[in-house]
Chain A
Amino acid sequence: MTNPIENLNKVFDSRVRLGIMSTLMVNNEINFNDLKELIDVTDGNLASHIKSLEEAGYVKVNKGFIGRKTNTTYAVTKTGQKAFQQHLQALEIMIKKIK
């Protein structure tokens, strides 16, 4: 077997990105403010982490409106789901190995 650490996804190295992915895995979609509230980070910080997840193809962005206010929601993509599940598996294997 290969080194399990290789299977850990580098994109999920950051706590914020990991938090975003965990939240999106169990919610169909979520808007920026709710995400900010849950993860407890600044606007800029959250935006840049979402950007990198979007660039990796893990998160899709939907720009919508509620009345006149913009309402941007985020959802996880198929690729993102797969990547996250693989990351979880890698974590599991690591824990088992050390034990």
Chain B
Amino acid sequence: MNTENESLQELRHIKQMMERSTRFSSLSGFSGIAAGICALGGIWLVVKKINLWREINLEHLDAPKDNLATDLLLIAISTFVAAAIFSFLFVYLRCKKLNIPLMGMSARRVVINMAIPLLAGSLFILRLATTGNYLMIPPACLIFYGLALVNASKYTLEEIRYLGLLEIIIGVINLWLLGHGLTFWAVGFGLLHILYGIIIWWKYEKNGIQKAGTITND
């Protein structure tokens, strides 16, 4: 016979299946923390590089011009790659721990829905660069990244939506403070990621595996 407990368990099972099939819940807080640290590291290198370049070029006007733009681009790319690798690694480890397939249906949805604004944004930023609108690049990165997060948040942890909104707000403020791109990047890509990483870890990972299946508060 169906007892109260069985009915409750059945409802819980239904809820869990509905959530598992629509949301990719095994994000790892460490991914956010690692991505944030990578971003801060990259920005620190950029600042150092720019200062060094200024020193050399102001003191020795005849010094051989090293290619600042290429160096900065290299730093940017390595930062991005490092952040992506670390984020992926921690999500991978978490999936393994929770025994959830990494590239399941819900994860694919997250990736696709992030990719749409990111691809459009990349092309937009590419045109900003080729038309010489360099100061517009940092806010554009923040805004499109925020849009990507908001768009994908329907298929993953709810918190990602607010992270996305914050990135957009920071990007928009940056639009009226052009020239402070690095500072805004440090806040948006560095501090926010670390903060969110800590929040996600605190909410979902601190107490071990048992909380992983349930996303919403019971």
Taking Cβ atoms with an 8 Å cutoff, the residues of A that contact B are 5, 8, 15, 18-19, 22-23, 25-27, 30, 34, 37-39, 88, 91-92, 94-95, 98-99
Contact = CB atoms under 8 A, between A and B. Distances in A.
B60 to A, nearest CB: 61
B7 A99 contact: no
B116 interface: no
Interface residues of B, number: 19
Contacts of A98: 3-4, 7
B2 A18 contact: no
Contacts of A99: 4
Contacts of B20: 23, 38
B18 A22 contact: yes
Given A37-B101, A37-B105, A22 B4 contact: no
A27 B22 contact: yes
B105 A30 contact: yes
Contacts of B4: 94-95, 98-99
A38 B104 contact: yes
Nearest to A23: B21
Nearest to A8: B2
A91 B10 CA distance: 8
Contacts of B10: 18, 91
B11 interface: yes
Contact of A19 (B1, B2, B7, B13): B13
Nearest to A95: B7
Contact of A34 (B1, B17, B104): B104
Contacts of B101: 37
A18 B15 CA distance: 11
Contacts of B104: 34, 37-38
B7 A18 contact: no
B156 to A, nearest CB: 15
B13 A23 contact: no
A42 to B, nearest CB: 16
A-B CB proximity, top 9 nearest: A22-B17, A98-B4, A23-B21, A34-B105, A22-B14, A26-B18, A91-B7, A94-B7, A19-B17
A25 B7 contact: no
